[in-house]
Structure 1
Amino acid sequence: MPYVNPHAVRAPYPENLRQWLSIERAAQSRDWLANCSLLNPLPTPLHPLPDLARQLGLAQLWVKDESQRSILGSFKALGAPVALVRQILERWPDQGLSAPGLFSGEYRARLKDFTVISATDGNHGRALAAAAQSIGCRCVIVLHAQVSLERELAIAAHDAHIVRIRGNYDQSVAEAARLATAYGWQAIADTSYAGYEQIPCDVMQGYGTLAAEVLEQSASQPAQPAFSHVLLQGGVGGLAAGVASYLWQFHGAARPRLLVVEPEQADCLYQSARAGHAARASGSVDSLMAGLACGAASPLAWRFLQPSIDCFVTIPDALAVDAMRRLAAGSAGDIPLVAGESGAAGLAGLSLMCQDVARRKAVHLDAHSRVLLINTEGATSPTVYQQLVGETAHSVLQRQQQWRQAPNAPG
């Protein structure tokens, strides 16, 4: 059953949170990312889905398509590069280094012996490896047993050294921290733990670019949000905290209702909401939604989520697969979209909430609601995508192109 958060508040964005995540620092991150060749230069698309909105009984439904963010296929390309650049600039403040110079590889000779390390379910590690490759430093990525060979090869293609462990994601995070200490490497993780907060904060700050684009594309005004509801994927909480904090600071007490969606068996944020503090998942953590298969909430992210998220929703894997297929299929009014297992989670959570009158009422979803989803990833594991959807991502993209060229295509 979805959990309505009794601690969510509607008030101006707190100053103690602004010291960590702010629109001003997000703007700096966005400026840096403008120099990153890994990223597409234009904002990712914001697509209306009018047919699906009608089916769900909503006024409007929109999806921000992060599968188009970069060649890496996910929103994670916004976080790891920012954290890596900030760490290098702060480590060598007197060397005359700059973000444009770092991204262009200008300082490769100086950085060839600098090593970064992180654990990953796939997308963060790939983004870090690609950023390290372009900047010219070394990269080590720790993978747990459930990460597919396909995702491993995609990371290794960026010259990263791969370390495999037998455990789960949380154990891979611990192993990456151990190796960083043992060899003097720099951990660039997207989750926080005791004594390690600033770098995950930098990662989350990079996600503010996504929120800034949404506000611009939707012509949102501080007192007049374009969206009444925003659904955010869970995981350790980094994406949700990065986007929620930006929207909260921009809109203040008028912010949209914010919902977090995560797998039933990897429900660390749901359990955190019930416990009143950062907690662990109640299930096995093993989920088809690989990017959300996390067992422990990030304590730093939880500082932002506890007062801002209105409802926590858990979904079965099967519902995510249904959502992947629905987005791929498209319709006369809805553009076909490639959404990976984690990317479709927001639609899965929304569908679950719209199936039941009591759930709709609990979060004020009705015929006037204007809802935003974020497709956080494309087919980052093409083989898995084809198995789950029943066609290749290439096939879906072909139909997307045909949809765009149809005489009566919207827009």
Structure 2
Amino acid sequence: MIDIFAHAELHHIAATPKAGTAVDHVLPRSGFEAAWTEITAWDGYAPTPMVSLAHLAKRVNVARIDYKHEGPRFGLGSFKALGAAYAALRVLAQEVSRRVGHPVSLQDIRDGRYAEVCTQITLVSATDGNHGRSLAWGCQRFGAPCRIYIHAEVSEGRAQAMRDLGAEVIRIDGDYDASVALARAEADENGWFVVSDTSWEGYSEPPRDVMTGYGVMTREACEALTSAPTHVFLQGGVGGLAASVTASLKQYWGDACPRVVIVEPELAACLYESARTGVATSVDIAEETIMAGLSCGEPSEMAWDILAEEANDYVTIPDSIVAPTVRLLARPLDGDPALDAGESAVAGLAALIAARQSLSLSEQLGLDDTSRILLIGSEGVTDPDIFDAIMTGTTLG
């Protein structure tokens, strides 16, 4: 099965991280600590597994592969359960405080002390699936109405999962970036509140809260490791996950922080293009990638501030190696545990396996038999129909 990766065409840009303080001023330690204190107090909280893929590591000739499996997270199937729900709680506490004329705590909202006020505050967002599901779950928990905007290629299974959590789902004909624009416009017109995982000029606090929520996952990963990884391979998308993990790792490990490799679909490589140009750069998406959660053409400016200073490498991968990677995790080499992962979860692993089939790319990424790799398995099976199609070979790859 590994042989299929030898024919994959990956593109690589070596970045030159800039000296700066974005890690500390964009996502300060105090924000990560506050998110940890709050989220670990939620009903149903439990750390997700850190899984060692020892036999696969031996097969691709690296020292370790540690895979943080986010499938079990709060029963929602994705790390995004940590972000949107936390940001929603923060928005509600702030707005309820304004309406009642005195400070209201996160616990006040969580415990339902202002349930009637929350029913009058509508939260909205655009999503490829997982972020919207987390927001819908949070709104259901905290008693606020929820509107989710999805683009034409979001699967009906993912749409229904959000409806099942009480969200009103609005499907548009355009792509993800068009759904973001419509969510913003209708929120402005109606006095609703956008809870997005991407930032833009004049809009930064909810995306910051989303990214600090993700820090719970990274702290769990760091505490499960006995030494710093040499590399971390991180999914792209708008950059929120990558920036959050990068900042958390830097704050935790300091000078021993692993080399940061950003991985994107070649069909939606806005961070790769940003690295090429040196500024946050949008790309047009002409064709949707199988990695639905990474189909983003416009980077988060806040996330880019961190990645521009800290990321070492940017790699794009073809869709053709995604389904084989999903199957490799589900039907692993003898001795490794079986993992059910979604399409976006495996981007880093797919890039790692393919890179190790190329001596030149391995050298460019500093990979050898002593490398210790951390991977973020960002989602489990969030659409069973798509997963079944991958496992039976009736979808790409």
TM-score after normalising by structure 1: 0.89
Counterpart of 1:409 in structure 2 is: none
Counterpart of 1:397 in structure 2 is: none
The within-5 A match list for 1:96-115 is 96-115=103-122
**What percentage of residue pairs aligned between the two structures are identical?**
39
The within-5 A match list for 1:2-401 is 2-8=11-17, 14-37=20-43, 40-93=44-97, 94-220=101-227, 225=228, 227-281=229-283, 283-390=285-392
Q: Which moved more, 1:260-269 or 1:80-89?
A: 80-89
1:172-214 per-residue CA deviation (whole Å, 9 max, x = no partner) reads: 0000000110000000011112221221111111111111111
| 1:8 to partner: Cα distance | 1.7
Amino acid paired to 2:207:
P
The CA distance in 1 between the partners of 2:160 and 2:154, in whole Å, is 11
The CA distance in 2 between the partners of 1:89 and 1:288, in whole Å, is 37
Amino acid paired to 2:37:
D
Amino acid paired to 2:40:
A
* Secondary structure class of the residue paired with 1:266: coil
The within-5 A match list for 1:395-410 is none
Task: Give the structure, 1 or 2, with the largest relative contact order (CA under 8 Å, sep 6 or more).
Answer: 2
The CA distance in 2 between the partners of 1:367 and 1:267, in whole Å, is 29
The CA distance in 1 between the partners of 2:68 and 2:38, in whole Å, is 22
Query: Contact conserved, 1:2 with 1:311, CA < 8 A, in 2?
Result: no
Query: Contact conserved, 1:119 with 1:143, CA < 8 A, in 2?
Result: yes
Q: RMSD of the TM alignment (CA)? A: 1.6
* Secondary structure class of the residue paired with 1:339: coil
Counterpart of 2:6 in structure 1 is: none
* Secondary structure class of the residue paired with 1:70: helix
Gaps of 5+ in 1: 392-411
Amino acid paired to 2:54:
P
Equivalent pairs counted in the alignment come to 381
| 1:363 to partner: Cα distance | 1.2
* Secondary structure class of the residue paired with 1:337: coil
Amino acid paired to 1:302:
W
Q: Which moved more, 1:230-239 or 1:91-100?
A: 91-100
Query: Contact conserved, 1:144 with 1:172, CA < 8 A, in 2?
Result: yes
1:287-342 per-residue CA deviation (whole Å, 9 max, x = no partner) reads: 11000011111111100111111111111112111110000002332100011000
Gaps of 5+ in 2: 1-9
The CA distance in 1 between the partners of 2:188 and 2:199, in whole Å, is 16
Q: CA 1:27/1:219 → structure 2, altered by over 3 Å: closer, same or farther?
A: farther
| 1:376 to partner: Cα distance | 0.5
* Secondary structure class of the residue paired with 2:316: strand
The CA distance in 2 between the partners of 1:358 and 1:318, in whole Å, is 21
Query: Contact conserved, 2:78 with 2:379, CA < 8 A, in 1?
Result: yes
TM-score after normalising by structure 2: 0.92
The CA distance in 2 between the partners of 1:204 and 1:379, in whole Å, is 22
